């Protein structure tokens, strides 16, 4: 994180990719709407990718320490339950993260 040129380069690349994704429907709307496969991807991919990111991030997190998978499993289930019944994204994230931090830092 010390090399500012590297970080600025990463930030520019991320900004370009994000803008390109958000702009795609506006420059290629007719092409996107004409192809049924795009609608199928739109229905299928967001959930599949979000589930994969959730599993992958949890697994990566559990490998960063030697105390097993329990803290991750409990905190993820808590976040899922809070969001399902509470529908408050910020509260779900805050409570689950605080619970996780307490579990990780408890002796």
Q: Compute CA distances 83 → 15, 68, 93, whole Å.
A: 29, 25, 9
Q: How are the residues of the chain apportioned to helix, strand and coil, as percentages rounded to the nearest 5?
A: 85, 0, 15
Minimum distance from CB of 74 to other proteins (Å)?
Answer: 11
- Contact residues: other proteins, CB under 8 A: 1-2, 4, 6-19, 21-26, 29, 32-33, 37, 40-59, 61, 65, 71-72, 75-76, 79-80, 83-84, 89-90, 92-94, 96-97, 100-101, 103-105
**Would you mind telling me the total number of residues written for the chain in this entry?**
107
Minimum distance from CB of 68 to other proteins (Å)?
Answer: 14
DSSP state of 28: S
């Amino acid at each position: 994180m010390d090399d500012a040129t590297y970080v600025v380069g990463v930030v520019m690349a991320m900004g370009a990719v994000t803008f390109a994704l958000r702009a795609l429907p506006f420059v290629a709307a007719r092409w996107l709407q004409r192809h049924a496969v795009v609608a199928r991807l739109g229905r299928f991919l967001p959930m599949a990718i979000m589930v994969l990111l959730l599993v992958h991030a949890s697994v990566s997190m559990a490998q960063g320490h030697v105390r097993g998978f329990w803290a991750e499993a409990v905190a993820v289930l808590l976040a899922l339950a809070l969001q399902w019944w509470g529908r408050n994204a910020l509260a779900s994230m805050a409570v689950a993260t605080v619970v996780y931090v307490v579990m990780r830092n408890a002796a």
